[in-house]
Amino acid sequence: MSLKNENLESAPAHATEGLVVAHHGVAVKVQWQAENIEMVRVSRKSGFLVGDRVYQEDNKLKRLQRKTELKRATTAGHTLSLAANIDLVGIVVAPKPETKPTFVDQVIIASQAAGISNLLIVNKSDLPDFEPMILELQRHYQDTIPVIATCAHDPSSLESLGQTIAHYGCGVFVGTSGVGKSSLVNALKQDHSLEVGALSEASGFGKHTTTTATLHPLRQGGEIVDTPGVREFIPVAIRPQEVAQYFPGFAEALKEDCRFNDCLHRKEPQCAVKAAVTSGHIDPSRYESYLSMLEQTEKQTQPQW
Ligand SMILES: Nc1nc2c(ncn2[C@@H]2O[C@H](COP(=O)(O)OP(=O)(O)OP(=O)(O)O)[C@@H](O)[C@H]2O)c(=O)[nH]1
Ligand SMILES: [Mg+2]
Ligand SMILES: [Zn+2]
């Protein structure tokens, strides 16, 4: 399997362009035209991703240049690529199950670093604890990214979500297992093609129902990629200095200069970020989240012995 032409921007004139809509290890599902979907065998290490634009040449599948690539690191330090050519990452959270507090910040930083826009989707608006949750998230994030309320069981609540995805092009849903990613995709497609799983009665968490990423064209326009649930989304290849640059809610404070150019906004004197915390412009809990992301990033960038 050769990927030599991966810096081509469009398929050669003699070839038809397709889109990878699912990945099954030794084969990828390619959508060539509206109705023509085909499984194409590939080697396990071929590196194709859902969202890749591809064409066939000499009986081989080749991919075109990627506009973006969304990646995360595992806690063990491996890099996992989730999808290619994504324009919008929809971070899905819900009152139940809970999402790890730093998750939203992790995804925003990883997306920003990859040049991809974000949207925060607060799902399960029908649950009783929804209102205080969305108010808190709006307070923290709405100056940085749009925050929208949805109920996957109420199609009328999904209009703005569908329009936003269509406006951007290709979206992806990421979030903890059980928050309703597949339910939202089903509702947007107005079918029940994706499996949905009830939360575990014992633990209250999701049961990791979705096990592989799949891409779905939407009737309103655009496409959406459903992904398996993850608890962590550790950004890959980010320098510690970039954490503050991408951290949601820090932009205003960073318009002022810190004393040191390479300030990490931790213990350094005359720091614009710490001044904003003291004056109440940055919430102390947001600053704590920043410090934990900074620490995680430093661990990542240190050589592993
Ligand atoms: N009350 C309520 N339940 C919802 C809503 N959206 C999804 N659910 C339920 O939440 C549970 C999990 O939904 P899924 O769509 O499987 O969640 P997921 O995020 O795809 O989970 P994984 O595939 O495990 O990552 C199911 O029981 C859904 O019916 C909603 O808006 N309101
Ligand atoms: Mg799912
Ligand atoms: Zn500083």
Give the number of the ligand closest to the Cα of residue 201.
1
Ligand 1 centroid from CA 209, angstroms: 10
Query: Which among 121, 177, 183 is the best mutation to test ligand 1's pocket, defined by most ligand atoms within 8 Å of the CB?
Result: 183
pLDDT tens, 88-138?
999 999 999 999 989 999 999 999 999 999 999 999 999 999 999 999 999
Give, using CA atoms, the residue closest to atom 26 of ligand 1: 198
Residue of 12 and 242 predicted with greater confidence: 242
pLDDT above 50: residue 1: no
Ligand 3 centroid from CA 245, angstroms: 11
Give the number of the ligand closest to the Cα of residue 254.
3
Q: Are residues 73 and 215 in the same domain?
A: yes
Q: Which domain holds residue 51?
A: 1-66
pLDDT above 70: residue 301: no
Q: Are residues 176 and 60 in the same domain?
A: no
Q: Is 124's C-beta closer than 6 angstroms to any atom of ligand 1?
A: yes
Q: Are residues 61 and 202 in the same domain?
A: no
In a domain, 231, yes or no: no
Q: Are residues 205 and 103 in the same domain?
A: yes
What does the radius of gyration of the chain's CA atoms come to, in whole angstroms?
20
pLDDT band at 5 (very low <50, low <70, confident <90, very high): low
Query: Which among 196, 207, 208 is the best mutation to test ligand 1's pocket, defined by most ligand atoms within 8 Å of the CB?
Result: 196
pLDDT above 90: residue 14: no
Q: Are residues 202 and 246 in the same domain?
A: no
pLDDT tens, 159-213?
999 999 999 999 999 999 999 999 999 999 999 999 999 999 999 999 999 999 9
In a domain, 235, yes or no: no
CATH of residue 202? 3.40.50.300
Q: Is 177's C-beta closer than 6 angstroms to any atom of ligand 1?
A: yes
In a domain, 107, yes or no: yes
Q: Is 179's C-beta closer than 6 angstroms to any atom of ligand 1?
A: yes
Q: Are residues 50 and 87 in the same domain?
A: no
Q: Are residues 87 and 113 in the same domain?
A: yes
Q: Are residues 282 and 248 in the same domain?
A: yes
pLDDT above 70: residue 4: no
Residue of 45 and 155 predicted with greater confidence: 155
- Which atom, in ligand 1's list, is nearest to the CA of 228? 25
pLDDT above 70: residue 303: no
pLDDT band at 224 (very low <50, low <70, confident <90, very high): very high
Q: Are residues 33 and 172 in the same domain?
A: no
CATH of residue 9? 2.30.30.140
Q: Is 176's C-beta closer than 6 angstroms to any atom of ligand 1?
A: no
pLDDT tens, 246-300?
999 999 999 999 999 999 999 999 999 999 999 999 999 999 999 999 999 988 7
Q: Are residues 268 and 143 in the same domain?
A: no
Q: Are residues 44 and 149 in the same domain?
A: no
> How many domains is the chain partitioned into structurally?
3
Give, using CA atoms, the residue closest to atom 14 of ligand 1: 180
Ligand 3 centroid from CA 290, angstroms: 12
Final residue belonging to a domain, choices 226, 251, 275: 226
pLDDT band at 237 (very low <50, low <70, confident <90, very high): confident
Q: Cα(122)–Cα(194) distance, rounded to whole angstroms?
A: 20
In a domain, 17, yes or no: yes
In a domain, 234, yes or no: no
pLDDT above 60: residue 45: yes
Please report the pLDDT score of residue 25 as a whole number. Answer: 84
- Its pTM stands at 0.94
Among the listed residues 164, 86, 69, 85, the one whose alpha carbon sits nearest the alpha carbon of residue 121:
164
pLDDT above 70: residue 43: yes
Ligand 1 centroid from CA 35, angstroms: 29
Q: Is 90's C-beta closer than 6 angstroms to any atom of ligand 1?
A: no
Q: Is 127's C-beta closer than 6 angstroms to any atom of ligand 1?
A: yes
- Which atom, in ligand 1's list, is nearest to the CA of 154? 31
Among the listed residues 115, 196, 123, 116, the one whose alpha carbon sits nearest the alpha carbon of residue 154:
123
Q: Are residues 73 and 187 in the same domain?
A: yes
Average pLDDT over residues 22-28: 92
CATH of residue 256? 1.10.40.50
Average pLDDT over residues 233-243: 92
In a domain, 102, yes or no: yes
Final residue belonging to a domain, choices 197, 226, 255: 226
In a domain, 232, yes or no: no
pLDDT above 50: residue 2: no
In a domain, 113, yes or no: yes
Final residue belonging to a domain, choices 171, 200, 226: 226
pLDDT above 70: residue 10: yes
pLDDT band at 235 (very low <50, low <70, confident <90, very high): very high
Ligand 3 centroid from CA 233, angstroms: 25
